[in-house]
Every structure is written in structure tokens, then in C-alpha cells.
Structure 1
Amino acid sequence: MPTKVRTFHALHHGREAGDPLVLPGPWDAASARAFADAGFPALATPSAGVAASLGYEDGATPPEEMFAAVARIARAVDVPVSADIEDGYGLPPKELVARVLETGAVGCNLEDTDGATKTLKDPRRHADWLAEVRAEAGDELFVNARVDTFVRGVNDPAEAVERIRLYAEAGADCVYPITVPPTRLPLLRAATDVPINVYASVSPSGPVSDLPVAELGRLGANRITFGPGLQRRAQAAVAGIARELYGQGHGW
């Protein structure tokens, strides 16, 4: 197992309940350097944040541009980088794994929403596909399987539990029930031994997370990510600077 992948794996395990792994989401090389310089041991790109930085709506980034953006981010820092590559862009597992590894990333998010129809994929077929990705990747890639039931309005936790178990059995290194209500976390934690990634929301001007990171950890999260929240907070700050500058110079 290559050193960076081994390091990334290790960061997810052996943690105290109130000390989950916090992975900021860089959207370009400059933000990646800022997070790495602050001391974060690894990073996880958000597809929506990268899309915004490239001028696209979420889900509309051409694969070539997404892979190129991830490569720039991975090249800019020495810490491990995981890449959100949405639903894999319809690429066969062998090509998908090769493309991710070419970027320099050591991990990837793979969601179970169909990118074309925006509907949930059949869980067993998706698990079979994840197993193919796992077989192609071997120990060179950390696979984070996103579970989209809650974000797609399926609030029965039993559906999330089924998918979590199937994806873990398929070889996923981590599962990501995005937007799971914190009260449901203990139930999901009890359903699997693999690490659980939890999404923490970020407001433009308030606290980084609505619920303290340590509390999310105590409820069952091993890893915390922020989706496009950090990029949107930075963009809000830029907008404020722009308004201030325009106000000072209006009438030039």
C-alpha cells in the first residue's frame, strides 16, 4: 500500500469518540494550500465547490475538468487528498480508478444517486459496481461510498442501513450517509464497523458547524466533511469585500 494511502487509512481509525477526522474541502490549489498550511492532515475535495470555482452548477462539471481540478489540488499539497467524483461519470471501473489515481488523489467519494436522472440507484447493483471498483483499485484507493437516501427524501433509516451494509460488504472503506439527522447517527453507527463520514453544514457568517464536531463524533461520526460549505463561505467573504471596495470607489 503506497505511503499516502496508508496514512489516509490510518487517519480514519483508532480515534477517540469525540475526535473525528476533520477534512476541509478545497476547491482549488490556493485553498488546498491554505488548509494544509493550517495543519490539517488530509483534504477532501467537494464536487459542488469545485464546480462553482470552475463556473458550473453542481453536477454539471465535465469529467475532464473535474479530474484536472483534482490534479491541481493534489499537486499543490503534500497531504493526502480524496476526490469527490460524484457517481463516477459513467466510466467503467477500470478507467475510473485509473483516472482518479492519475490525479494524485488517494481516495474518492462515489455516490449512489444517478447523475443523469437524480434518482437513487438500485442498492444491490450499485454495491456490485462498488465491488468492481474495489477490485480494480486494490489497496491504492480509499473508497468512500456516499449513501443518498436522506438527501433524496427517504427518511426511513432502514433504507440507509441496508445500503451501508451492502456497500461495506462490497469493500467500501467508509460510508457517507449525507445529511443524516444527528439523532439517527447512533443507529447507523451500530449497523457497521466501517468509518462513517458525516456532513457538517457551514453558514456564511456563523459557526463552521451547526453541531460541534466533537458532538458529531460522540454520536458516531469518524470523519467530518463540509461539502461546498467552505467554498460558499469564502465566496460570501469575497462578495463582502467586493461590495466594500465598490462602495469606496463608486463614482471614480
Structure 2
Amino acid sequence: MTRAEKFSKFCQLHSREGAFVMPNPWDAGTARLFADVGFEALATTSAGCAVSAGLRDGTAAVTRARLLQNAREIVAATALPVSADLEDGFGLTPETCAETIEMAVEVGLVGGSIEDATGGPEGGVHEIALAAERVRAAAEAAKGRHFLLTGRAENYLWGRPDLKDTIARLQAYEEAGADVLYAPGLPDLEAIRTVCAEVGKPVNVVMGLRPPFYSVQDLAEAGVKRISVGGSLVRLAYETLQKATAEILRTGRFDYAEGLMPGAELMGLMRDAPLEQRDG
């Protein structure tokens, strides 16, 4: 499937009735598993990319090159449209955000998000005018290139629970050219419903970040179009591994292996490496 075809499919998901779920694989293997389950689109996760490299998320530890290589591998793993968590665009200036979008297109992505968090361990969000200019530059870079841009307002992730300001930011990003709007961490369904009513573009929400958790139907009825799960499946996987290995040390038993997916079934979801990539 060409990028243009993937982009067309991705746009259709945002224009049809109801809401769709876009899970977040953190490598090629999880991308293939999620595609096999039946999802119609995927999104990368900066948290998953970070912890897979033994790094912390949200501290600017993951380089743009590493994140885009992770995205390239996920794109290559399936025929599904893939959108990327492009963090803060990997730089302060609008020009850097535009460059990041251009590089995202080159690795085969058909969507991606630019957030207004300032990046780094201190946290915080950009002043709204600069944040909108960063989105505007990203939108200009995406224009005509089969790329759906998401503008993210990060207030609720950085200790700024201001719904009015969050909506103003999303409206500014919409005006600047964002195709999808996203404010992770909204506190409840009423806040989600209010956001959806105050903007004119499709809204993404994240589930699995923290309670309360709502159903797809609940969110669709509130006006949500797209649902992602962020790093929650990564946390699930790591928690499962932590519990299983701790149990081995504690009891000397291997009960975790009861009921596992058979190896043949897992391998059946994967693919052979091209001959030119094999050693020997």
C-alpha cells in the first residue's frame, strides 16, 4: 500500500461515524500483533520508544533520530497507517518543527503530533502564540504531503489544569492548520465533551493514562473521534514481566508460563527477514 493510500485510509477513519481506537506499538513486533488483532491504524509512543532503550520518557533523552528510526520500523512492519508521537518537535523554533515533519514524511508516516510542552526535566508549556506558530510551521511542512497533523495541548500533563486555556490553545492550533486536536489528561467526560464542542476538528483522547477510564461508546457519544492508549500497553507489558520474574526469584517456580501464547502462534504473526539482512 502506498503512502497516499494509507493517508486516504487514515483520513476516512477520521471522517466516518463513531470513534476508532489507534493503539500504540513500541516496536515492529507489537505493531504486527496489533494489526493481526484487527486495528485499522497505529500510533507510535514516545514512552515505549524511550523505555525500550532504557531511557526515561519526557526528559528529552530520546533523540529525534532514534524516535524516527523506531517509527520507520513500525511503518515497515504492517500495511496500516501510522501516526507518530513527535514530542515537542525536537526543538524550540517553528523551523525545527517543520523540519521534523519533513523527516517524519520521509520515514513513511502519514500523521504525527506536535505538542506545546517545553521538553526537558523542568516541564512547562510554551506561550500560546509561539506554540501556535510552531503548529503553523508544521502544518505548512505537511501541506500536500499526505500527512495528518495533530496539535497537542499539554496543560494537564504539566500541572496546569486550566480547561479554558486548554481550549484556547486547541482553537489556536486549529486555526494554525492542525487536522486533529489532542489534550491528554483531561479530567473527566464532561471536560472531554466540552473540548469536543468547542473545536471544529476531530479530537483525540488517550485512555489508560490514569482513571477514570471510559468506553469507546462513552467517548464517541461525547464527540471524540480518535482514541489512543499512549504508553499504557508498554506499562502493562513491563508490569507483567516484572511480576513473572519476581515470582521466579521468590518461589523458584515458573507458573507464569501456564496459558502463554504458543511460540508457533507468536512466530506466525512475524515475518522472515529478507535474505540480504541475514548473517552468514
TM-score normalised by L of structure 1: 0.90
Does residue 8 of the first structure (1) align with residue 10 of the second (2)? yes
Q: What letter corresponds to residue 216 of structure 2 in structure 1? A: V
Q: How does 1:85-96 map to 2 (within 5 A)?
A: 85-90=86-91, 92-96=96-100
Paired position in structure 2 for 1:187: 194
2:45 maps to what in 1? 46
2:76: which partner in 1? Answer: 75
1:124 — aligned with what? 129
How has the CA–CA distance of structure 1 residues 186 and 202 changed in structure 2, closer, same or farther, with 3 Å as cutoff? closer
Displacement of 1:191 in angstroms is 0.8
Opposite residue 222 of structure 2, the aligned amino acid is: L
Displacement, 1:167?
A: 0.4
Identify the structure with bigger relative contact order (alpha carbons < 8 Å, sequence gap 6+). Answer: 1
Q: Distance in 1 between matches of 2:253 and 2:227?
A: 41
* Structure 2 equivalent of residue 214 of structure 1: 217
Q: Measure the CA separation in 2 of the matches of 1:180 and 1:202.
A: 10
For residues 191 and 165 of structure 2, the distance between their equivalents in structure 1, rounded to whole angstroms, comes to 12
Q: C-alpha distance in 2, partners of 1:93/1:210?
A: 32
Larger radius of gyration: 2
**Following TM superposition, by how much is the alpha carbon of 1:40 offset from its aligned partner in structure 2, in angstroms?**
0.3
* CA deviations over 1:27-71 (Å, ceiling 9, x no partner): 011111100111100001111111111111003212211111111
Task: Report the aligned-residue RMSD.
Answer: 2.0
Q: Which amino acid aligns with 2:20?
A: L
**Are the structure 2 counterparts of residues 245 and 191 from structure 1 closer, same or farther at C-alpha, using a change threshold of 3 Å?**
same
Residues in 2 aligned to 1:229 and 1:245: alpha-carbon distance in whole angstroms: 25
Distance of 2:248 and 2:79 partners within structure 1: 35
- d(CA) in 2 for partners of 1:92 and 1:243? 44
SS in 1 for 2:151: strand
CA contact (8 A) 2:153 2:170 kept: yes
8 Å CA contact retained: 2:99, 2:141:
no
- Given that 2:97 and 2:114 are in contact with CA atoms closer than 8 Å, whether structure 1 keeps it comes out as no
Helix, strand or coil for the counterpart of 2:12?
Answer: helix
Instruction: State the 1:111 CA deviation.
Output: 0.7
Which residue of structure 2 lines up, in the alignment, with residue 134 of structure 1?
A: 139
- Which blocks of at least 5 consecutive residues in structure 1 are unaligned? none
Deviations 1:5-37, CA, capped at 9 Å, x for gaps: 111111111223xxx110110001111110011
Which stretch of the first structure deviates more once superposed, 91-100 or 186-195? 91-100
> What is aligned with 1:153?
159
The whole-number CA distance in structure 2 between the counterparts of 1:94 and 1:175 is 18
Q: CA deviation at 1:94?
A: 4.0
Which of 221, 228, 232 is equivalent to 1:229? 232
Unaligned runs of 5+ in 2: 255-280
Aligned to 1:66: 67
d(CA) in 2 for partners of 1:93 and 1:83?
A: 13
Q: CA 1:28/1:209 → structure 2, altered by over 3 Å: closer, same or farther? A: farther
Identical counterparts, % of pairs:
32
Q: Count how many residue pairs are aligned between Structure 1 and Structure 2.
A: 243
Q: Could you tell me how far 1:93 is from its partner in structure 2?
A: 3.8
Aligned to 1:163: 169
Q: Which residue of 1 aligns with 2:257?
A: none
The CA deviation at 1:241 is 2.8
Distance 2:224 2:171 in 1: 16
Q: For residue 185 of structure 2, give the secondary structure of its aligned residue in structure 1.
A: coil
- Kindly indicate whether the alpha-carbon contact (under 8 Å) linking 1:120 and 1:148 is maintained by their aligned counterparts in 2: yes
- Specify whether residues 187 and 119 from structure 1 end up closer, same or farther in structure 2 by C-alpha distance, changes over 3 A only: same
Contact kept? 1:128, 1:170, Cα under 8 Å: yes
